[in-house]
Amino acid sequence: MDSPRGRIYLIKSLADGRIALTDSVVEHLSLCLDCRACESACPAGVQYGHLIEAARAEIEHQRPGSPLRRLVRRLAFDLLLPSPRALGAAAGLLRLYQRLGLQALVRRSRLLELLPGPLAAWDALLPPLPPPADRGPLPELLPARGERVARVGFIAGCVQDVVFRAHNLATLRSLARNGAEVVVPREQRCCGALHAHAGDPERSRALARQNIAAFEPLGLDAILVNAAGCGAHLKNYGHLLREDRAWHARAEAFAGKVQDVTEFLARRPLAGPLGPLPMRVTYHDPCHLCHGQRVRAQPRALIRAIPGIELVDLRESEFCCGSAGIYNLTEPEMAARLLERKVGHLAATGAEAVVTANPGCILQIAAGLRRRGLPMRVLHVVELLDQAYRAAEGAR
């Protein structure tokens, strides 16, 4: 029952009314990563991701859990993620928690391990948060450097922009260097991917409509995103709004323009000059990039285009690291087992850094490397590219 075929059988049996939503059924469905690796392997092209998200929506409808669980979900999915202001305020409090030394104190005391729920797992994932001075609004319009080859929109993300603002800035600079005029509309919101994965399709649809309305009138050639999980969901907006007659065609048009930033940058030779980065690196395939979007070659091509880089293969590169949206928060034990396997393969490469293209993977892998005491850095593809451009500028 933990295979894709077994879970599909459970979902069909639930839909036909042949079985009830028992604890056992919920456990089998909840342990699914929704990594969509089965879609890459399936010769029939079954869209398993749609099925598991529908099943999780039914679980949330029938078994919403304790009042505390419902409160936490409401705070996270209804208040924090859809609101940049609320998310920024939460990030400010967490940064204060770090700056005052409270995080280090709590970790040394092992207090979190005594508390109920996955709080210890949550804290282990928390990276150093950027100061308020580095979290100002992104520019609404960034002109292309040199000849303009495209006008693109940029999805800044919710957690991505709060935690990894440096990656967003590196993305904007790299796009501008490669002839893209970049528009970052203020009206955009969270893409809704985490809501869909967690069984809240209605909130996900509402956020989709907001994003479509924000980007639709801008006359864009493409809509770019640097977070693999967000990109897979944004490309799914047509399916998400398939029953909404007023929005379905608009959602399909929007989704047709969405590209991962590596897809866009790899379509033509990179603009130069790129400075040398003498590094040995390896690449981890985010599940929702390689399986959800079928983007595998483009990130590697960009890495190889940087002078001085030695790219070494990673065993089981397409295996999930255990992040899987919020899986590492809801199923920390299984996520930790997957992470241990991934970190073991990373250590065997002898690389100085692992490069990937998704914030969840970056948080998860970085936590695993810290726990193992390995000095390997975790970088986003655009971060590496931006370093090469900066190295070229320093050489002149």
Q: Is the dihedral of CA 226, 232, 238, 243 positive or negative?
A: negative
**pLDDT tens figures, 177-222:** 999 999 999 999 999 999 999 999 999 999 999 999 999 999 999 9
Q: How many CB atoms lie within 10 A of CB 136?
A: 8
Predicted local confidence at residue 132, as pLDDT: 77
Q: What are phi and psi of 309, to 5 degrees?
A: -80, 135
Q: What are phi and psi of 160, to 5 degrees?
A: -55, -45
Q: Quickly list DSSP for 341-361.
A: HHHHHHHHHT-SEEEES-HHH
Question: What tokens were used for 267?
Answer: 């379509």
Q: How far apart are CA 178 and CA 268, in angstroms?
A: 9
Q: How far apart are CA 317 and CA 152, in angstroms?
A: 30
Predicted local confidence at residue 190, as pLDDT: 95
The residues spanned by each domain of the chain are 4-62, 67-131, 134-265, 279-395
Q: What is the pTM of this model?
A: 0.93
Q: How many CB atoms lie within 10 A of CB 4?
A: 18
Sequence-distant (6+) residues with CB within 8 A of 207 are: 82, 189, 190, 191, 192, 195
Predicted local confidence at residue 117, as pLDDT: 60
Q: How far apart are CA 358 and CA 356, in angstroms?
A: 6
Q: What are phi and psi of 320, to 5 degrees?
A: -65, 145
pLDDT band at 34 (very low <50, low <70, confident <90, very high): very high
240, 232, 236, 230: which is closest to 255 by C-alpha? 236
Is CATH 3.40.50.1860 what the domain over 279-395 is classified as, yes or no? yes
Distance of CA 184 to the CA centre of its chain: 18
263, 341, 340, 353: which is closest to 308 by C-alpha? 353
> What percent of the chain has pLDDT above 90?
76
Whether 139 has a pLDDT exceeding 70, the answer reads yes
| Domain 134-265 fold | Glutathione S-transferase Yfyf (Class Pi); Chain A, domain 2 (1.20.1050)
Question: What tokens were used for 165?
Answer: 């603002």
**pLDDT tens figures, 327-375:** 988 888 899 999 999 999 999 999 999 999 999 999 999 999 999 999 9
Predicted local confidence at residue 228, as pLDDT: 97
Predicted local confidence at residue 118, as pLDDT: 64
Q: Mean pLDDT throughout 276-298?
A: 97
Q: Mean pLDDT throughout 223-227?
A: 98
pLDDT band at 84 (very low <50, low <70, confident <90, very high): confident
Q: Mean pLDDT throughout 250-277?
A: 97
In three-state secondary structure terms, 336 is helix
Q: Mean pLDDT throughout 107-126?
A: 73
